[in-house]
Amino acid sequence: MTTEPVNRQWLLARRPRGAVTEADFTWHEAPVPEPAEGEVLVRVLVLSADPTQRGWIAGDTYLPAVRINEVVRSLGFGRVVASRHPGFAPGDLVSGLLGWQDYALIGTGAAATLGKVPPGTSAEHALGVLGLNGWTAYFGLLDVGRPQPGETVVVSGAAGATGALVGQIAKIKGCRVIGIAGGPDKCGWLTGTAGLDAAIDYKSENVAARLAELCPKGIDVYFDNVGGPILEAALGRLALRGRVVLCGGIAHYNDTAPPTGPANYLNLIVQRGRMEGFIVLDYAARLPEAIGPLMGWLAEGRLILPIDMQHGLEAAPATLMRLFDGRNQGKQLLRIAD
Amino acid sequence: MTTEPVNRQWLLARRPRGAVTEADFTWHEAPVPEPAEGEVLVRVLVLSADPTQRGWIAGDTYLPAVRINEVVRSLGFGRVVASRHPGFAPGDLVSGLLGWQDYALIGTGAAATLGKVPPGTSAEHALGVLGLNGWTAYFGLLDVGRPQPGETVVVSGAAGATGALVGQIAKIKGCRVIGIAGGPDKCGWLTGTAGLDAAIDYKSENVAARLAELCPKGIDVYFDNVGGPILEAALGRLALRGRVVLCGGIAHYNDTAPPTGPANYLNLIVQRGRMEGFIVLDYAARLPEAIGPLMGWLAEGRLILPIDMQHGLEAAPATLMRLFDGRNQGKQLLRIAD
């Protein structure tokens, strides 16, 4: 007598108010589904935790909101276990929107968003440097921010998965780079391993004063992952024709009240500055442009992304919550199967 | 016995705190100066009142602040009465930074900013459609905002000197145009004489609700002259890849506390939007690009700028103050001599 395999899942119980909590999710066990014509069944191995997931469960954003009692949307890495889709065969390694579950059934429409991972690529690389974080850093910095060699680039959330790559790519491009992060460990990593020119610890230092010291000629490109007072401090130090790349606003994601906007936004007039938002999904057609350089820099050891790996599907809510209190150092992942 | 001519002037007495008041200025009478080598003496005929003057007297901005006891900086139109500069002769009509005074002595350096006005050009045109307002509307809308035919353009301060021209130029370029202004007279002018598609009276209507009605596909270009809650309402309705042109923030200029920033600035990420500031002085080298089209549209009757003319140098502070309580309809000028 064999035990029927079970698909363990986390469903969205309610939309979060303020900070994400475990009570926003419900544990659920369902039978493992069979793929219909055009569908692929994926065994999920590693899940990615990303700040944007807060937005996906809170309401409609650039993607429709996850519905109540639907599996929580998440990027993940897995192995095809059954396929009735001509593009995928059992054993293929894939990444895509797999969700908080053991088995993901990817339908015809969504199968287009399932990407094959080249053999030999680790989950860490597939979900980090060669995944959404790498693409976001690459296009956000280079296409939206357009830094020139010798310019001063400042990045917040600099020890996070996207920020860490932004800082290193800016160095590769010949910029002076200052990272803003919370705590001495993260700051030490930025000026040590990541090779940035300076780091600011927003938990113990006056960010505006330190930016004034470190950026005597102003900030040419500010890559913002956090919003809030740090965005204001950077706007206040913008150089003539400075660019603010809006990638995220993690300082606001758990707000219950509307966030405050940057009070000094009129500095964009004085400095003839530009503040621009982007969504990496828009660059889908241009991903090949990024993949080559990212793989090259990775192979040369010029892009390093620390991995913070948690374990067990049960820990999915807690793993996501780590992002919002800044406990993660680098890319936050969750291994749910080997 | 002849009376020595007197140069009546308004000097800056103190930096304004909150709203500009007459007590921020001192009346002064001085002898009319004689031009030295390289200098030009101009009889000031008409002064322009511009919101940016609040910034010039409050502190350093994109120009160094007016110093205490210095003549208040102002654009103006006048006639050369004496010249020791090879480029100017008595009788020439000129415009430039003449200041709140009867006679302006323009030195060698600053003479570069004195422009000759073609004979036959009125002060109203020289200081309006063919002056700073026209250039600001032209480059701000077309170079920063880049509207395409058929796109929806929204402009605030739409009955003001710059806003009125922005709306009409956007119509000339084939856009759907909605103007935001205060009061039924201004709004009637926008949809009547100026030919805009719709107007919103921010004093009596809910701007966000009206924008939702009038811009079902969102706002492609928002030209902001005011900041504050109207900027927020427009950001909340931004179309995909919408552009916000930051020209000014008159709602904030008299603030004593720091202004509030747009709380929904993260909508720039969701909509992949761009918010960009500019200063028209940066376009000095490109002014010829604008002058031709502006003169052409003016001659064809396609650009109409109502003039609000006050009288007498004594009224200079009161005339400036009219801008901040929205009493001016169109271009605010002050005639100080015939």
Structural domains in chain A (count): 2
Residue entry with tokens 């005339």: B319
Residue bearing tokens 């701000």: B140
Enumerate residues 6+ apart whose C-beta is below 8 A from A252. Answer: A227, A228, A259, B266
Q: Say if residues A171 and A149 touch (Cβ distance below 8 Å).
A: no
Range list of H helices, B43-159: 52-58, 108-111, 123-127, 132-139
**What is the band of A254 on the pLDDT scale with cuts at 50, 70, 90?**
low
Helix H segments across chain A?
A: 52-58, 108-111, 123-127, 132-139, 161-172, 184-191, 207-214, 228-235, 250-253, 267-270, 287-299, 316-324
**Would B250 be classed as within a structural domain?**
yes
pLDDT of residue A142: 98
Distance of CA A2 to the CA centre of its chain: 40
Best of A63, A276, A280, A282 to disrupt the B interface (most B CBs within 10 Å) is A276
Most B CBs within 10 Å, among A50, A241, A266, to test the B interface: A266
Give the pLDDT score at B329: 81
Cα–Cα dist A10/A23, whole Å: 11
Taking only the tens place, the pLDDT of each residue in B281-326 is 899 889 889 999 999 999 999 999 999 999 999 999 999 999 988 8
Task: Indicate whether B165 and B28 sit together in one domain.
Answer: no
CB contact under 8 A, B247 and A269: yes
Decide if A62 and B259 are in contact by the 8 Å CB cutoff: no
Q: Supply the pLDDT for residue B49.
A: 96
Q: Are residues A142 and A234 in the same domain?
A: yes
Q: Do A270 and B62 touch (CB under 8 A)?
A: yes
**Cβ–Cβ < 8 Å for B313, B334:** yes
B190 and B275 co-located in one domain? yes
Residue A182 pLDDT grade (very low, low, confident, very high; cuts 50, 70, 90): very high
Cβ atoms within 10 Å of B66's Cβ, excluding its own:
21
Q: Which of A61, A243, A246 to mutate to test the interface with B (most CBs of B within 10 A)?
A: A246
Question: Residue B166 belongs to a domain with what CATH number?
Answer: 3.40.50.720
A228 and A277 in a common domain: yes
Helix (H) or strand (E) holding B265: none
CA-based nearest distance B280→chain A, Å = 10
Mean per-residue pLDDT, A45-59: 94
CA dihedral A219, A224, A228, A231 (to 10 degrees): 10
- Rounded mean pLDDT of A185-189? 96
Share of chain B above pLDDT 70, in %: 96
Residue in A261, A269, A278 nearest the CB of B272: A278
Tokens (6 digits) for B205? 């209507």
Q: For residue A286, tell me if it sits in a domain.
A: no
Would you place residue A258 in the very low, low, confident or very high pLDDT band (cuts 50, 70, 90)? Answer: low
Residue A62's pLDDT is: 84
Q: Is residue B286 part of a domain?
A: no
The answer to whether position A87 is within a domain reads: yes
Mean pLDDT of B27-35: 96
**Residue A292 resides in a domain:** no
Give chain B positions within 8 Å (CB) of A249: 266, 269
Q: What is the C-alpha to C-alpha distance for residues A134 and A189, in angstroms, rounded to an integer?
A: 19
Contact B268 A276 (CB under 8 A): yes
Quote the CA–CA distance of A298 and B316 in Å, as a whole number. Answer: 65
A250 lies in a domain? yes
pLDDT at B258: 63
Range of lowest pLDDT (A3-12, B47-56, B112-121, B235-244): B112-121
Question: What's the mean pLDDT when you consider all of chain B?
Answer: 93
Label residue B111 by pLDDT band (50, 70, 90): low
Per-residue pLDDT reduced to its tens digit, B214-234: 999 999 999 999 998 999 999
pLDDT at res. A259: 67
Nearest to A235 by CA among A219, A251, A213: A219
Residue B291: Cβ within 10 Å count: 15
Q: Report whether pLDDT(B191) > 70.
A: yes
Domain identity same for B118 and B195: no
Position B2 scores a pLDDT of 56
Q: What gap in Å lies between CA A280 and CA A135, rounded to an integer? A: 7
Are residues B165 and B273 part of one domain? yes
Chain B, nearest residue to A56 by Cα: B270
Are residues B136 and B277 part of one domain? yes
**pLDDT-based confidence at residue A248 (cuts at 50, 70, 90):** confident
Percent of chain A with pLDDT over 90: 80
Which of B63, B275, B278, B282 to mutate to probe the A interface, most A CBs <10 Å?
A: B275
Smallest CA–CA distance, residue A75 to chain B, in Å, is: 19
Q: Which position has the token pair 């103050």?
A: B321
In this structure, are strands A115-116 and A93-97 parallel, antiparallel, or unpaired?
antiparallel
What residues of A are in contact with residue B278 (Cβ under 8 Å)? 269, 272
- Residue B18: inside a domain, yes or no? yes
pLDDT score at B199:
98
What is the C-alpha separation between A253 and A20, in angstroms, rounded?
9
CA A111 – CA A96 distance, rounded (Å): 9
- Which residues are CB-neighbours of B313 under 8 A, at least 6 positions away? B8, B10, B47, B100, B101, B102, B334, B336
Name every chain B residue with its beta carbon within 8 A of the beta carbon of A264.
258, 261
Do residue B150 and residue B273 come from a single domain? yes
The residue count for chain B: 338
pLDDT given at position A22:
96
* ipTM of this predicted structure: 0.85
Let me know whether A101 and A149 are in one domain. Answer: no
Is B83 contained in some domain? Answer: yes
- Tens digit of each residue's pLDDT (9 = 90 or more) over A270-320: 899 999 999 988 998 898 899 999 999 999 999 999 999 999 999 999 999
CA nearest to A251 within chain B: B266
Give the tens place of pLDDT for each residue, A100-129. 999 999 987 655 578 899 888 999 999 999
Q: What is the pLDDT of residue B79?
A: 97
Q: What is the pLDDT of residue A107?
A: 85
Confirm whether pTM is higher than 0.90: no
A:265-324 residues touching chain B, CB 8 A cutoff: 265-279, 282
Q: How far is Cα A17 from Cα A254, in angstroms, rounded to an integer? A: 7
Contact B239, A246 (CB under 8 A): no
Give me the residues of B, 40-69, that contact A with CB < 8 A: 61-62
Q: Is A224 on the interface with B (CB under 8 A)?
A: no
Q: Dig out the tokens for A208 from the structure.
A: 């505006």
Query: Residue B119 is part of a domain; what is its CATH number?
Result: 3.90.180.10
Nearest to A274 among B265, B272, B274 (CB): B274
- Rounded Cα gap, residues A296 and A147, in angstroms: 20
Give the one of B246, B258, B264 whose C-beta lies nearest to A263's C-beta: B258
Residues B28, B31, B34, B36, CA torsion sign: negative
Q: What is the pLDDT of residues B141-171, one digit of tens each?
A: 999 999 999 999 999 999 999 999 999 999 9
Domain that holds residue A237: 132-281
The shortest CB-CB distance from B260 to any of A260, A270, A278 is to: A260
Tell me, yes or no, whether B24 and B150 share the same domain.
Answer: no
Q: What is the pLDDT of residue B326?
A: 83
Size of interface A-B (CB pairs under 8 A): 105
Cβ burial of B298 (10 Å; 0-12, 13-18, 19+) is: middle
Q: If DSSP codes are grouped into helix, strand and coil, which group holds residue B5?
A: coil
Q: What is the pLDDT of residues B193-216, one digit of tens each?
A: 999 999 999 999 999 999 999 999
Choose, out of B224, B247, B265, B268, the residue to mutate when testing the contact with A (most A CBs < 10 Å): B265
B146 Rama sector, left if φ>0, alpha if ψ -120 to 50, beta otherwise: left
Q: Which of A243, A54, A46, A202 is nearest to A126 (CA)?
A: A46
**Which chain B positions have a beta carbon within 8 Å of A232's beta carbon?**
261
Could you tell me if A182 and A225 lie in one domain? yes
Both A146 and A245 in one domain: the answer is yes
Residue A248 forms contact with B (CB below 8 Å):
yes
Q: What angle do CA A23, A29, A35 make, to 5 degrees?
A: 125
Q: Does B33 lie at the interface with A, CB-CB under 8 angstroms?
A: no
- The whole-number pLDDT of residue A256 equals 64
Q: Three-state SS across A162-195?
A: HHHHHHHHHHHCCCEEEEEECCHHHHHHHHCCCC
Average pLDDT of the residues in B82-93: 94
pLDDT of residue A257: 65
With beta carbons under 8 A apart, name residues in chain A contacting B224: none
Name the residue among B67, B20, B70 with its Cα closest to residue B316. Answer: B20
User: Chain B 142-201, CB below 8 Å of chain A: which residues?
Assistant: none
Q: How far is CA A267 from the centre of its chain?
A: 29
